[in-house]
Structure 1
Amino acid sequence: MKSYDVIVLGAGAAGLMCAAGAVKRGRRVLVLDHAKKPGEKILISGGGRCNFTNLHTTPANFLSRNPHFCKSALKRYTQYDFIDLVEKYGIAYHEKDLGQLFCDHSAKDIVAMLLAEAEGAEVRTRTAIRAVAKPDPAVRAFRVETADGDFEAESLVVATGGPAIPQMGASGFAYEVAAQFGIGIVEPRAGLVPLTFDDQTLQDLEGLSGVAVDASAVLGRTRFDEALLFTHQGFSGPVILQISSYWREGDTLTIDMLPGGDAFALLKEAKQSVSKREIQTVLGELLPKRLAQRIAEITGLQGRMAELPDKDLRRAADRINAWQVTPSGSLGLKKAEVTLGGVDTDFLSSKTMEAKSVPGLYFIGEAVDVTGHLGGFNFQWAWASGHACGEVA
């Protein structure tokens, strides 16, 4: 049996970051992953260009049952620290909307950088993990059984993510390891995922698939302002992916498809200034034409502006500025970008990611109950939690 100081399960963003930190401390590190190559999720992210962090990262951008848990790691390894690393390797990048940073060339640059940082670690891919054990409770040593043999180390880092995107081999393996050692799990569910509608609502929206509009989505005190996309199953687009992480079955969303504009005031003004125009024409100046036509049909409005009483204009305006919609569900973990929930942070040290009751066992990245908003925040959590662990594992 081959021995190491640290075994990292998972060659993704958090796992490679942790391995890099541990190697720099002179630790003998083994990284194991069942995937064909390291960083597979990194490679597909951001359309192949990797939205590797966000300039506006704060703890407020993360969901967790314990919202304070992420603060220590994020403070000790910030977005600017990762940007410095990217610049050190000469990787060209650019900012898109809302502080999102992407590689100019390819996500492959980020993976190559991480592997270079972790030089000295042994990285084994295509390695199926059969079991994890701690043969002697009195000794800080873990055994990992694989199809290619068994390995042992005094520190074991679980960086295998969550079950989102199972077609890439994602699973709940991290939760199984946690449960094996008596560590709690916050129920995992889909995050950053398209939402679906019942048959009646889909019938009302027939013909709108592919239409996009800038919108705000509100649920309680939570609000996001980005693009909304109509699909043949319901809603998608950045604003819906964002709010989906807060949505629970039965919740009603308020959708504003003219954020910053008062639809009723604009329609009343049009009634005076262009009184002979058809309502559909006027709505088409505020919204995409297909959407404008559908709203006119749903609200039963037709005819010239001059002929429409204010109460009818108000009905159309409410559908534009304050559409109340109750999704029937989501597309689930198969289509989710991330997993909400995971290893309960009450069982972990926020400074080291080590399990409080099992010395030498660590959980990092998406496996932990810390989930970021859309836009590079989940990668920043991977870098920060991986760095925190790599300093001590």
Structure 2
Amino acid sequence: MKASFDLVILGAGAAGLMCAIEAGKRGRRVAVLDHGDRPGKKILISGGGRCNFTNLHCRPENFLSANPHFARSALARFTPQDFLALVEKHNIPYHEKTLGQLFCDGSAKEILAMLLAECAEAGVAIFLNQHIQRVEKEEVFLVNTKASGFLAPALVIATGGLSIPKMGATSLGYQIAEQFGIAIQECRPALVPFLLEQSDQQDWCDLAGLSAEVIASTGRQQFREKLLITHRGLSGPAILQLSSYWKESEAISVDWAPEKPALTSLLATNTRRDANAAKATLRETFPARLADRLVDLATPSRWTNAAIQQLENRLHHWPFDPDGTEGYDKAEVTAGGVDTAELSAKTMESKRIPGLFFIGEVVDVTGQLGGFNFQWAWASGAAAGRCL
């Protein structure tokens, strides 16, 4: 048995639900299909369960894409203030954490409940446990599931990326794009921890759990935030940010003491100069074990002025050669995806397949850490929903 709608949306995540709300408000009969047993699973785990739902300082420069200008239109027409108005309408308490990041005071469940309430008010039908078997297009789109079929003149792909497969991530969106001859920019894990080579793991990973504010750099990109040492490598906001721009086999550099000299006091005339003195000085800035390790790994043979300056320079340009990343299992998002050259920047509709739309993470638009990927989901979903 086949059910007819004005549009069918594949994916009940952030982008899919926002698209459904906007289209439903315009009187469209909307069906949202999801293969999971509940909607919004990634919303619920985001921000440590408090959902970093947007960023007040959202700009196109916060996004990575083969076309860095593509996101500009959608982001300008649905802003963080627009989403914030919805949050405030539902009386959800929130706070700004750092760098414009907005979180719920309570739980991410409140954001999901808000979206579902808006869907219900707009008459949106949500169908869970729907395993897509085939998508076809003749006069209209036909989506066949194991249980039934759905007909609609418009089909919106909001299936997300490949990140966190244990949460249900699949390649369905990319498969549908390929089926219709739509180009895809190569996908890769983003906002993901780095692995270190075995020798570097032996030098560093017994310090797992220690963190410091650093500047982490690769190529022309750099981020000043916390770095966290893990059991297998490096993580923390600075590293996650950097990972989206990192290219395989490329070295990264860490400035352990941003914008300040760390060992200048050792250059004083009457100051003791040796490894213990250097460690004591660095302990004023770093956790003791981290301070000691930095000195142990770069102890000069003689404590001359030149050697101390070399150690100082090393602290500001400490090289690491990542042995890859933790992969999609630990990646917060997927970089790459449906080529933006194939889509209208205003509506997210395919330029070659009328009625076919791609929104959210499945598109080659990847935000930096801090609520930007949610804002892209809201903005791209609204862009599609408002034109359907």
Shorter-chain TM-score bucket reads: over 0.9
Q: 1:272 to 1:93 in 2, by over 3 A?
A: farther
Name 1:154's counterpart in structure 2.
153
Q: How far apart, CA to CA, are the structure 1 residues paired with 2:48 and 2:56?
A: 19
Q: Distance in 2 between matches of 1:268 and 1:8?
A: 66
Amino acid paired to 2:134: A
Which residue of structure 1 lines up, in the alignment, with residue 126 of structure 2?
123
Superposed CA offset, 1:150-204 (max 9, x none) = 1110110000000110011101110000000010000100000000111121222
Q: Identity rate of aligned residues, in percent? A: 52
Query: C-alpha deviations, 1:269-325, integer Å up to 9, x for none?
Result: 5x64566963222222232111111122112359xxxx8212331232123211122
Distance in 1 (CA, whole Å) between partners of 2:252 and 2:270 is 33
2:215 counterpart residue number: 216
* Counterpart selection for 1:335 from 330, 333, 338: 330
Q: Is 1:348 equivalent to 2:343 in the alignment? A: yes
CA distance in 2, matches of 1:343, 1:158: 10
Count residues with an aligned counterpart: 384
Match of 1:311 among 302, 306, 311: 306
d(CA) in 1 for partners of 2:106 and 2:205? Answer: 39
What's 1:71 paired with? 72
- The answer on 1:230 being equivalent to 2:229 is yes
CA contact (8 A) 2:266 2:272 kept: no
CA distance in 2 between partners of 1:168 and 1:65 (Å): 27
**AA at the equivalent of 2:104:** C
Q: Is the 8 A contact 1:353 1:388 kept in 2?
A: yes
- What's 1:265 paired with? 264
CA distance in 1, matches of 2:254, 2:182: 39
Mark the runs of 5 or more structure 2 residues left unpaired by the alignment: none
Unaligned ranges ≥5, structure 1: none
CA–CA separation in structure 1 for the residues paired with 2:229 and 2:208: 5
Q: CA deviation at 1:257?
A: 1.0
Distance 1:286 1:67, change over 3 A: same
Deviates more, 1:205-214 or 1:44-53: 205-214
> Which residue of structure 2 lines up, in the alignment, with residue 284 of structure 1?
283
Of the candidates 320, 324, 334, which is equivalent to residue 319 of structure 2? Answer: 324
Amino acid at match of 1:158: I
The residue identity in structure 2 corresponding to 1:89 is H
Aligned Cα root-mean-square deviation (Å)? 1.5
Q: Contact 1:299 / 1:315 at 8 angstroms: preserved in 2?
A: no
Equivalences for residues 22-61 of structure 1 within 5 A: 22-61=23-62
Alpha carbons of structure 1 residues 266 and 326: separation in structure 2 relative to 1, 3 Å: farther
Q: What is the CA distance between 1:328 and its match in structure 2? A: 1.5
Offset, 1:262: 1.6
Whole-angstrom CA distance in 1 between matches of 2:377 and 2:185: 19
Seen in structure 2, the aligned counterparts of structure 1 residues 308 and 88 have a Cα distance that, compared at 3 Å, is: same
- Is the partner of 1:217 in helix, strand or coil? strand
Match of 2:253 in 1: 254
Alpha-carbon distance in 1 for matches of 2:296, 2:265: 19
Tell me if the contact between 2:195 and 2:325 (Cα under 8 Å) persists in the aligned partners. Answer: yes
Q: Residue type matched to 1:340 in 2?
A: A
Residue 352 of structure 2, aligned match among 353, 357, 362: 357
C-alpha distance in structure 1 between counterparts of 2:195 and 2:27, whole Å: 50
- Mark the CA change 1:130 to 1:206 in structure 2 (over 3 Å): closer, same or farther: closer
The aligned residue for residue 185 of structure 2 is: 186
Aligned to 1:143: 142
* Alignment-derived partner of residue 104 in structure 2: 103
Contact 1:295 1:316 survives alignment (8 Å): no
Instruction: Report the TM-score, using the length of structure 2 for normalisation.
Output: 0.96
